[in-house]
Structure 1
Amino acid sequence: MAGAMERFVEGGTFFEGPRWHGGHWWASDFYSHAVSRISADGKMETVCEVPGQPSGLGWLPDGSMLIVSMLDHRVLRRWPDGRIDTHADLSEFATGHANDMVVAEDGTAWVGNFGFDLMEGEDMRPACLVRVTPEGEVSLAADDLYFPNGAVITPDGKSLIVGETFGNRMTTFTIDSKGELIDRRAWAAFGPRPEPGPRAELLKQLAVGPDGCCLDAENHIWIADAFNQRCIRVAPGGDIVDEVRTPDGQGVFACMLGGEDGRTLLLCVAPDSSAKRRRQVREASLWTARVDVPHAGRP
């Protein structure tokens, strides 16, 4: 069971893409445009700024950091010497803001996108998951996903699991020998898959809104439930076996297991996910809780 929640870092606009890498926490902050490295005692250092709004993070085998630039549909590469250039252009496939990303051990990345203008209240439209090779070549990996969001890759590198925020489910694929996603199926179904349409109608049908997520060593996934102010630990099939909430009932939008023993759960917390409200204030925070089962897989 998860331990008590503790506030770790304050003063963000909207944190996303939390990662543990190289003995530090890392996170994107949407509306300050900062990608930050955070020490175990909570000291935050801005590593780079992304004018196009940073989100998902990952690393190539040579130590370069990949950063999703949401508004211009790009994946950026920050080289070990600090240079930043475009690694991949997703604009052929992204029909909404580019969003979260998971990067495999060999540097292959999978990137989701909103599929529609979430912040302006458009009706939900299905979106695709894009595959980016280590060399930056872009192709369609899977389509007809209801807001593909946080994703994980199992430790054997053979399965990818992605949350469909408006789909009431976590969807899994087998990664074949060519790096293609095949054999699509539900990893966890929290209810029926809604019909596309107005967001207000969709929300009535959703038991869980999967956002950022991470895998543990018992093949359970910690999932930020974007619509229910909590982070849940889910078993294969969909049973919720644990949950954590902030004491003040704020929203939880991403999570990651890390720390030296992999048993610290980091949560990205904010009052809500409204772009208009979040960009005007610095009310986002990072929280931690200790858990029994350590991190596994990627990210």
Structure 2
Amino acid sequence: MLFRPISLLFVLSLAAAAAEAVPEFKGSIERLDPALDGLIAPGTGIEVLASGFNWSEGPVWRDGGLVFSDVPENTVFGWKEGDTAAKVVLKPSGSLSGDGQGSNGLQVDAQGNLILCQHGERRVARLEKDGSFTPLADKYEGKRFNSPNDLTIAKSGVIFFTDPPYGLKKGETPELPQHGVYSVTPGGKVSLVVGDIRFPNGIALSPDEKTLYVAVSDPKDTRVMAYDLQADGSVKNGRVFFNAQGLKSPERKGGCDGMKVDAQGNLWTTGPGGVLVISKEGKHLGSILTGQATANCAFGGADRSTLYITADMFLLRVKTLAKGL
């Protein structure tokens, strides 16, 4: 085999290409209402913790650090204070055969177990201590889900999750007629909670668990819906809580996707431009503008006051004055 010396010019061109692969992050915080100052202190900035991901998603605080999905890479990454880069903690994460999409939304149950929406396996599953997965919900009325996307867990242990078709493999035909919002009890009973919206995505509960919020990522009508949650797990009085369609522009990418609720009931939802901060009355207080199509967010840190954000190729954080649930 003939070896040729590598020129300095070639090395420099590779370094330049690598630098171009991860563009410089430019973000800001937009203040639309003085009430935002009580949630994000004036002068607060946006910090880049890690970058270079394909599509980062589903962050959750666990065991003193953050874990999050890279959906196309079929990987869960972990980051802790002091780390210079995110580390692989689980691969494969959502497609065990490796030919499908990985995990998306992640949560931690009351026992500390990682619960995953697995796109490739089309199910919600629990990661066991030996590295295996236990399916918690994979079918409704005998038909496979589309691709469970995001989830929230009630104090009772009931899991609510969304099921848009985003994670289906090319050529896969949906078995269910709806893009549903479902629940699964600790005993394994699966119920359809909402069946009349297209592209349900992020999902969250109010602090008193009387309201279920569902983000809709429909590119023609991106919004957050609110529903009155009943004692039996059903919902009524579905209504538009916040319509974000008018915020979309070439400069403000993305739609309503993942979201979290703080202890005061404010909603922190990804949307056009980054993360929108919405009061519990539905007023837009301001936005964390990332300049990226922004997928999801989660509160974490020792006092759960730091907002971690997955924005396309970036993992970001913003110190807040709020407290996550």
State TM-score, norm by structure 1: 0.78
Change beyond 3 A, Cα 1:169–1:126 = farther
Contiguous gaps of at least 5 residues in structure 1:
193-201, 271-283
Contiguous gaps of at least 5 residues in structure 2:
1-36, 96-101, 171-176
Q: Does the Cα contact within 8 Å between 2:207 and 2:264 map onto a contact in 1?
A: no
Change beyond 3 A, Cα 1:64–1:118 = closer
Kindly provide the CA deviation profile for residues 8-62 of structure 1, in whole angstroms up to 9, marking residues without a partner as x.
1123221111112332212111122112332133453433222421011123333
Change beyond 3 A, Cα 1:16–1:90 = farther
Match in the other structure for 1:23: 64
Higher mean C-alpha displacement, 260-269 vs 75-84: 75-84
Change beyond 3 A, Cα 1:189–1:236 = farther
Match in the other structure for 1:255: 297
- Quote the Cα distance in structure 2 between the aligned partners of 1:149 and 1:128: 10
Choose from 63, 67, 73 the match for 2:116: 67
Instruction: State the one-letter code of the partner of 1:133.
Output: T
Match in the other structure for 1:111: 161
Match in the other structure for 2:226: 172
- Quote the Cα distance in structure 2 between the aligned partners of 1:105 and 1:188: 26
Change beyond 3 A, Cα 1:84–1:97 = closer
Match in the other structure for 2:126: 77
Change beyond 3 A, Cα 1:116–1:285 = closer
- Quote the Cα distance in structure 2 between the aligned partners of 1:95 and 1:82: 23
**TM-superposed deviation, 1:237:** 4.5
Instruction: State the one-letter code of the partner of 1:38.
Output: W
SS state of the match for residue 238, structure 1?
coil
Change beyond 3 A, Cα 1:210–1:128 = same
- Quote the Cα distance in structure 1 between the aligned partners of 2:206 and 2:265: 8
Higher mean C-alpha displacement, 180-189 vs 253-262: 180-189
* 1:1-299 equivalence runs, <5 A: 1=37, 2=40, 3-42=44-83, 44-49=86-91, 50-52=93-95, 53-90=102-139, 96-115=146-165, 127-166=179-218, 167-190=221-244, 209-225=255-271, 228-246=272-290, 249-270=291-312, 284-296=313-325
Q: Does the Cα contact within 8 Å between 1:37 and 1:47 map onto a contact in 2?
A: yes
**TM-superposed deviation, 1:119:** 9.5
SS state of the match for residue 295, structure 1?
coil
Q: Does the Cα contact within 8 Å between 2:139 and 2:145 map onto a contact in 1?
A: no
Q: Does the Cα contact within 8 Å between 1:69 and 1:76 map onto a contact in 2?
A: yes
Q: Does the Cα contact within 8 Å between 1:28 and 1:35 map onto a contact in 2?
A: yes
Instruction: State the one-letter code of the partner of 1:292.
Output: L
**TM-superposed deviation, 1:140:** 0.9
**TM-superposed deviation, 1:232:** 1.2
Identical aligned pairs, as a percentage?
24
**TM-superposed deviation, 1:102:** 1.2
Q: Does the Cα contact within 8 Å between 2:207 and 2:261 map onto a contact in 1?
A: no
Q: Does the Cα contact within 8 Å between 2:263 and 2:322 map onto a contact in 1?
A: yes
* Structure with the higher fraction of residues in strand conformation: 1
Structure 1 vs Structure 2 CA RMSD: 3.0
Q: Does the Cα contact within 8 Å between 2:244 and 2:256 map onto a contact in 1?
A: no
State TM-score, norm by structure 2: 0.72
Change beyond 3 A, Cα 1:93–1:102 = farther
**TM-superposed deviation, 1:109:** 1.1
- Quote the Cα distance in structure 1 between the aligned partners of 2:80 and 2:149: 25
Q: Does the Cα contact within 8 Å between 1:100 and 1:111 map onto a contact in 2?
A: yes
- Quote the Cα distance in structure 1 between the aligned partners of 2:319 and 2:113: 30
- Quote the Cα distance in structure 2 between the aligned partners of 1:233 and 1:93: 37
Higher mean C-alpha displacement, 73-82 vs 206-215: 206-215
**TM-superposed deviation, 1:287:** 0.8
Change beyond 3 A, Cα 1:224–1:45 = same
